[in-house]
């Protein structure tokens, strides 16, 4: 049974934990899964996560010479794609709060031969340590649901965007296709933990993954949060029947 919510607690999956505890517990989850992160993404989504990210990159509007920020960038897929879009005269900054995940992203980008225009920084999404009005595009892919204060993170990302820039939030959401929800729930709570147990040797972290998705705001709620921050022309694209949604908002 969940504890009653109050201002000093937040969700960690289906648990209620102290606000100060969540970031540490999330850090431990991603330290545990870092070495198998890409393999598990391929297994869990049957490779479809690559299409979701490709679609996201197509919505960045980035041109050569521009600057982009990838927040909670995981193993660097979006940052790598944006580095190719902005070219040698542009700049991409890949950030994550977790050093193990950031190192995975750095290694992937170096291996791909795209490191000349990419920088790396340990950074908290809620308090981005960058100057205001710097970036043409900010992305956060499958990271917002792990943030303790999501509104604070949206505010921080809004601040560092240039006027005319855009935020893209790629995240698991609520299935909208008829009949999909029960199938998705069964997969999430039975298959994912087993994949975690036998492939990543970490059943608990993948159970948390399934639970954290259910606790994340649905499509309309997240759109409203972005509007409350100040983003305009907010919309979203349901991908794979709403299992994933890409939210988009502009700083005008």
How do residues 198-252 score in pLDDT, each as one tens digit?
Answer: 988 889 988 998 999 999 999 999 999 999 999 999 999 999 999 999 999 999 9
Strands 232-239 and 244-250: antiparallel
Q: Is residue 28 part of a domain?
A: yes
User: Cβ of 8: how many Cβ atoms within 10 Å?
Assistant: 10
Q: Is residue 171 part of a domain?
A: yes
Answer yes or no: is 34 within a domain.
yes
- Condensed to tens digits (0 to 9), the pLDDT of residues 179-193 reads 999 999 999 999 999
In a domain, 17, yes or no: yes
* Counted domains in the chain: 1
pTM of the model: 0.92
Range of the domain at 41: 9-177+206-250
Quick one: which H or E segment has residue 150? Answer: helix 150-160
* Matching residue, tokens 């305009």: 232
Evaluate whether residue 41 is within a structural domain: yes
Specify if 213 maps to a domain.
yes
Query: What is the CATH classification number for the domain harbouring 57?
Result: 3.40.50.150
In a domain, 186, yes or no: no
């Amino acid at each position: 049974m969940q504890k009653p919510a109050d201002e000093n607690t937040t969700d960690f999956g289906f648990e209620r934990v102290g606000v100060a505890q969540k970031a540490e517990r999330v850090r431990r989850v991603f330290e545990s899964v870092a070495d198998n992160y890409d393999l598990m993404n391929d297994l869990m989504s049957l490779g479809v996560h690559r299409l979701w990210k490709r679609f996201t990159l197509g919505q960045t509007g980035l041109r050569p010479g521009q600057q982009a920020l990838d927040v909670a960038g995981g193993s660097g897929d979006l940052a790598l794609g944006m580095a190719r879009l902005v070219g040698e005269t542009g700049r991409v900054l890949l950030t994550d709060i977790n050093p193990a995940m950031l190192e995975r992203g750095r290694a992937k980008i170096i291996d791909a031969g795209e490191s000349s225009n990419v920088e790396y920084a340990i950074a908290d999404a809620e308090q981005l340590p960058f100057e205001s009005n710097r970036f043409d595009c900010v992305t956060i892919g499958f990271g917002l649901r792990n943030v303790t204060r999501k509104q604070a993170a949206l505010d921080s990302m809004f601040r560092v965007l240039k006027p005319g820039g855009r935020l893209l939030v790629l995240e698991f959401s609520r299935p909208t296709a008829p009949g999909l929800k029960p199938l998705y729930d069964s997969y999430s709570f039975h298959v994912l933990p087993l994949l975690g147990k036998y492939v990543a040797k970490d059943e608990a972290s993948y159970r948390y993954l399934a639970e954290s998705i259910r606790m994340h705001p649905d499509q309309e709620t997240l759109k409203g949060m972005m509007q409350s921050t100040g983003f305009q022309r907010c919309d979203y694209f349901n991908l794979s029947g709403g299992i994933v949604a890409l939210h988009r908002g502009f700083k005008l």
